[in-house]
Amino acid sequence: MSLLINGARLADGTITDLYLKDGVLADPASAPAGVERFDAAGLLAIPGLVDLHTHLRQPGREDAETVDSGTDAAARGGFTCVHAMANTSPVTDTAEAAEYVHALGEREGHCQVQVVGAVTKGLAGEELAELGMMADSKAKVRVFSDDGKCVSDSLLMRRALTYVKAFDGMVAQHSQDPRLAGSTACCHESEWSGRLGLPGWPSQAESVIVARDVELAALTDSRVHVCHVSTAESVEIIRWAKKRGVKVTAEATPHHLLLDTPLVASYDTTFKVNPPLRTSEHVEAIREALADGTIDVVGTDHAPHARQDKDHPFDIALPGMLGLEQALAVVIEVMINTGRMDWPTLVQRMSSTPAALGQVPGQGRPLAIGEPANLVLVDPTARAAVDAAASKSRSRNNPYHGRDLPDPVVATYWRGRQTYSR
Amino acid sequence: MRHLLGCADLSATDANAILDLAEEMQQVQSRPVKKLPALRGRTIVNIFFEDSTRTRTSFEIAGKWLSADTINVSAKGSSVSKGESLRDTMLTLDAMGVDCFVIRHPSSGAAAQVASWVRAQVVNAGDGQHEHPTQALLDAYTMRKHFRSLGREGFAGKKIAIVGDLLHSRVVRSNVLLQNLLGGEVVLVAPPTLLPTGVENWGCQVTSDFDAVLPEADIVMMLRVQRERMAGGYFPTEREYTAGYGLTEERLRALKPGAGICHPGPMNRGVEISSAAADAANSLVLDQVASGVAVRMSVLYHLLGSDEGAMR
């Protein structure tokens, strides 16, 4: 496919033409006269977004999501690469399982699928999974996570961090002390949990693990990544650790940037997520940390669930909400439109930095001649009410349904091929 | 109001209307023929996803004495064990033409969720650790009668001490909300480990010093200590709990003259309440049970029996 995009504005404000040819960005001056053209006047062109934290549910829960539907949703959201979390059924804890998901991505993906391997066998938190074999497999796994569960055993976490150094891997931790936030915890521990009678999830159940893990990262001189940071206390610890030079990185989800605890008062299980929606003070701390770089990236924690898994009482329903399609919209709304962040920084947080952390070649690259043609065209002013029924995902647990938000993605191109067009 | 999901939804007018009508309903209890035609032709399903004897029976009697067709469904664990969601279970029953669901569920918020799904009206008969509004209403009804028997009217200036496992109690949440409406003054007493987060903003006094509260309380309401809580490390031993928070014979003697003793049951005699206190002349425990039927008749009548009812 060849396409000449005329007059797009780059994140730095430069107006330019982009020529997509054979999967790379070629010199626009070399485009033949009759080439297909796209008038991008008024639109931004930014590198395709990269998500470090996606649940594609395949294999095992294809009723909730598949590689096909999940990456279709990703393309709709402007993503050209997603990291597929390991908590599938079976768990991605062997080289064979990793290669299977990788092959699915290559065959059916509407964007690149990078495989996240489990840290421990079966996510059981007892024995290391085949970290090295997953790293050496065709999937070239570099990010390992038991997400959904915390690697709570300190010694095992130390060994995981030490082990992945051999191939410069990264352990992405779901920080949740399993005792402090018990198995039924489902609401930010606060006046809200007290009034609603919902088991509380104290913010310190996250920050105590974050504190422990940065110490273990310092001890091992290895890379730890804090998934879905949700509390002001965690932010402070990460800020302190970075100043010390510890190799810690962190992500914020779109929902923890926009939504807060009072939404839970309706007992609408769409708003049940783990970690839970926090109070506005925590939300503010997350926004500030994303702006100043304490939090390095936006990770969607896109967690599709079939309706039958949400049609339960609040404490029983599965946690998780969709995130891929509205991630950019939310970041524009709370960071760009409020003047907290500029576009070059957004590109760092949502494309170049996650690509670098996940060590994904060809992603998060600048839009320059010779680079892979992974990009998204953005209308920064368009808005629309979110319609959950219009989602490309197989699931409908969209927490933004009915909310007026930016509707930025005009078209997405992956490996030079259009994967979404409005 | 279409449903009774919690005391948070009630106004003072609603609450007083329910208590006033309950007085009339209680007269039915002493008649040889205990039947009013008010809800003839209406179908009430008592669906209990959690064990209960007194609440379920109380609602069943209340419905029957109002001539409603009452059906009991013991649904404990069924929707989960058979793989059906709560929503589908309730929609299935709703499709049968039920007028009202009285629902007990171990999960907080379940009654509110059901109310958002079904066409029928819903009464919350206890949802997890959230609310148990008819228990609070029958408690208030019992207290009001007790105060009147002492020649005193109303709740203003009355101090109601609620003692025990407040963290896991739905009764306490409903009682605080209702007493705040009615003008009573609630004092919550518990070990610090059994206080809900944010309780300081509930609009009532909170303390861990039971003995300081005893001489001032017009009502002492003891809550059940669930023995499984001990394994959770909320307090060291049953003995230590009783020493600090039990209504022992010694504490019984320290009560203000005329103070009433309440307990929503079932009681752990010798733990949170001594037998001497449970069976004392000023114990209102059985009055609470008797009041339960009248109050629930009043609630059902307000919801189902009158287009002009206070809760419509």
pLDDT 10s digits, B9-48:
999 999 999 999 999 999 998 899 999 999 999 999 999 9
pLDDT digits (tens, 9 = 90+) for A350-403: 999 999 999 999 999 999 999 999 999 999 999 999 999 999 999 999 999 999
CB contacts, 8 Å: B110 with chain A? 267, 313-314
Total residues found in chain A within this entry: 422
A307, A328 Cβ separation under 8 angstroms: no
The stretches in chain A having pLDDT less than 70 are none
Return the exposure string of B280-301: e unless at least 16 CB atoms fall within 10 Å of the residue's CB, then b: bebbbbebbbbbbbbbbbbbbb
At B79, the pLDDT band (50, 70, 90 cuts) reads: low
The interface pTM score, or ipTM, of the predicted complex is 0.88
Token pair for A319 = 């946690």
First to last CA, chain B: 5
Domains and CATH numbers, chain A: 48-366 (3.20.20.140)
Buried b (16+ CB within 10 A) or exposed e, A170-197: bbbbbbbbeebbeeebbbbbbbbbbbbb
Domains B3-132+290-305 and B133-289 share a fold: yes
Annotated binding-site residue? A76:
no
A57 annotated as a binding-site residue: yes
Looking at beta carbons, which residues of chain A come within 8 Å of B113?
267, 269, 313-314
Residue B223 class from Cβ within 10 Å (0-12 exposed, 13-18 middle, 19+ buried)? Answer: buried
Contact between chains at A194 and B197 (C-beta distance less than 8 A): yes
> Of A391, A326, A422, which is closest to residue A65 (Cα–Cα)?
A391
Nearest to B198 among A194, A269, A311 (CB): A194
User: Are the Cβ atoms of A316 and B127 closer than 8 angstroms?
Assistant: no
- B28 CB-contact burial (10 Å; exposed 0-12 / middle 13-18 / buried 19+): middle
Show the tokens assigned to B151. 């020649």
Q: Could you tell me if B201 lies within 8 Å of chain A, comparing CB atoms?
A: yes
| pTM of this structure | 0.93
Which DSSP string corresponds to A144-200? Answer: E--TTS----HHHHHHHHHHHGGGT-EEEE----TTTS-TT--EETTHHHHHHTPPE
Q: Hey, of A261, A316, A318, A397, which one would you mutate to test binding to chain B, going by the most B CBs within 10 A of its CB? A: A316
Predicted pLDDT of residue B285: 96
Pick the CATH number of B133-289 from 3.40.50.150, 3.40.50.1000, 3.40.50.720, 3.40.50.1370: 3.40.50.1370
Q: CA of A221: how far to CAs of A240, A297, A331, in Å?
A: 16, 21, 32
Pull the structure tokens for residue B50: 């959690």
Q: Which of A189, A191, A197 sits opposite B128 (nearest CB)?
A: A197
User: Is the pLDDT at B196 greater than 60, yes or no?
Assistant: yes
Q: Which residues of B touch A267 (CB under 8 A)?
A: 108-110, 112-113
Confidence of residue B310 (pLDDT cuts 50, 70, 90): very low
Residues B56, B49: Cα–Cα separation, whole Å = 11
pLDDT at B75: 81
B199 Cβ under 8 Å from any chain A Cβ: yes
Note the pLDDT of residue B174. 98
DSSP state for residue A350 in the 8-state scheme? I
Residue of B nearest to A269 (CA): B113
Cβ contact A78:A363 at 8 Å: no
CATH class of B3-132+290-305: alpha beta
Which residues of A participate in catalysis according to the annotation? Answer: 301
Structure confidence at residue A380 (pLDDT):
96
User: Averaged over B253-274, what is the pLDDT?
Assistant: 95
pLDDT at B120 over 80: yes
Cα separations in angstroms, A43 against A149, A408, B286: 41, 9, 74
The residues with which B163 forms a beta bridge, in sequence order, are B189, B222
Q: Computed over its alpha carbons, how large is the radius of gyration of chain B?
A: 19
pLDDT of res. B80: 57
Crossing angle of helices B133-149 and B170-182, in 10° steps, is 50
Q: Please give, one letter per residue, the 3-state secondary structure of A276-343.
A: CCCCHHHHHHHHHHHHHCCCCEECCCECCCCHHHHCCCCCCCCCCECCCCCHHHHHHHHHHCCCCCCH
Among the partner residues B127, B128, B197, nearest to A189 by beta-carbon distance: B197
Q: Are A84 and A358 in contact (CB under 8 A)?
A: no
Q: Is the pLDDT of residue B213 over 60?
A: yes
Contact by Cβ (8 Å): B1, B311? yes
Q: Where exactly are the structural domains of chain B?
A: 3-132+290-305, 133-289
**B266 annotated as ligand-binding:** yes
In this prediction, residue B76 carries a pLDDT of 74
Nearest chain A residue to B107 by CA distance is: A313
Cα angle value B294/B296/B300 (rounded, 5°): 120
Statement: residue B308 has pLDDT above 60: no
Average pLDDT, chain A: 97
Q: How far apart are CA A30 and CA A217, in angstroms?
A: 49
Measured in angstroms, the CA of B240 and the nearest CA of chain A are apart by: 24
pLDDT at B244 over 70: yes
- Give CA A143 to chain center in angstroms: 13
Write out the two tokens for B66.
């109002």
Residue A320 marked ligand-binding: yes
Q: Give which of A195, A271, A312 to mutate to test B binding, by max B Cβ within 10 Å.
A: A195
- List the structure tokens of A122: 């079966």
- What would the pLDDT profile of B139-181 be if each residue is shown by its tens digit? 999 999 999 999 998 999 999 999 999 999 999 999 999 999 9
Q: Is there a contact between A311 and B107 if contact means CB atoms under 8 Å apart?
A: no
